[in-house]
Chains A and B, each alone.
Chain A
Amino acid sequence: MSSSRLASFCFTLALLWALQALASEVELRVETVLATNSSTEFDNRLTDMKSQLERTFHYSSYHLVQEVHRKVNWGHQEDFSLPGGRLLQIIPKGYTNHRIALQVMLMEGSTPSPLMNASLSFPNNGMVFFAGRKHQSGILIIRIGAAATE
């Protein structure tokens, strides 16, 4: 194989890899739940996490107030507006050993200032809960999930 053909072959491989890279995305899911003790209602849309909520947080009522699904590119910051003027910034940093690495920053205030900054990873299709911020008569529970195409 001549050097020119070899070079064009390598270029084609690089081009294909680049196209595959552009096509790869990660799906982020941010679900915000309001947990209160003001009633005993349980939102039917939260059935899949009912046991997790009731075993962990011990509130009498759970209501899904917001659910956002986005497909985003790796390394790009995504902003999610949360109830109470809060802002959640997520950067999907990478995917290795079947684990998704995220940078998560929670901001709040009239001029949003950082409240919490975490660098974490969890398995593909996994999740993590952030909770504790007061809202109305209860607290917000934020479930962040991510799924990468393998």
Chain B
Amino acid sequence: MATCPHADRLVPLLHDSELDSPLRREMVSHLATCITCTRVLSLLEHGQELLCQAIDEQVGALDFSDFWQGVTSRIQQPQSSWSVRLRLWYERWRPAWSFNVPAWAALATILLLTIAPFHSKSLFRISPFLAENPQPSPEIPPPVRVASNEATIDNQAQIESLSAADTVAMWNDPENNFTVIWVGDDASGELP
């Protein structure tokens, strides 16, 4: 069988339209005189035609009757559980959260320092009241600790400090469980 040096290398490229114009024109003119290359090209074309036929036959054999029904059923499937969605949401925003540890610590510290003054209720134990008293004005004598009430019933008021510009008296009513602080006018000085 006659052979041609172009048959194995250039004819397949010509068949695939991979040759540049000058070389393609040269190969086309060569095909007119070379039986070997012509046969190779015709075999390639025949093989491609058979391949296309085989593909068309297999595509035609596919059953698409249930295709849209399948799409519909997938759409109507119940949504993922909240934990899965939460996880997806976390993963989605994870890059935005990926600060380093010092940044998070600084944020938490700032938050604590900002809120702490408003929340003496649970963060700080109440120290002796006198330490937080506002500065007494010159008209009021300095606060005096009242000791007489410390051993009274727990439901009654406990006086930590008391100061007044006028006569002041204090008593507890054990029966009714309340405390009275009497701030009388100097003019009268009367007690109930």
Interface residues of A (CB under 8 A from B): 3-4, 6-8, 10-11, 14-15, 17-18, 21-22, 24, 51-52, 55-59, 73-75, 91, 93-96, 99, 101, 103, 105-106, 113-123, 126-134, 148
Contact = CB atoms under 8 A, between A and B. Distances in A.
Contacts of B122: 21, 24
Contacts, number: 182
Given A4-B99, A114-B140, 11 more contacts: A3-B101, A4-B104, A10-B105, A21-B123, A56-B192, A59-B192, A95-B126, A116-B168, A121-B158, A133-B183, A133-B185
A122 B157 contact: yes
A10 B133 CA distance: 34
B92 interface: no
In this complex, the member of B114, B126, B156, B159 whose beta carbon has the largest number of chain A beta carbons within 10 angstroms is B126
Interface string B38-78: 00000000000000000000000000000000000000000
8 contacts: A7-B99, A14-B108, A18-B111, A18-B112, A59-B192, A106-B183, A130-B180, A132-B182
Nearest to B167: A132
Interface residues of B, number: 61
B166 A129 contact: no
In this complex, the member of A7, A22, A117, A129 whose beta carbon has the largest number of chain B beta carbons within 10 angstroms is A117
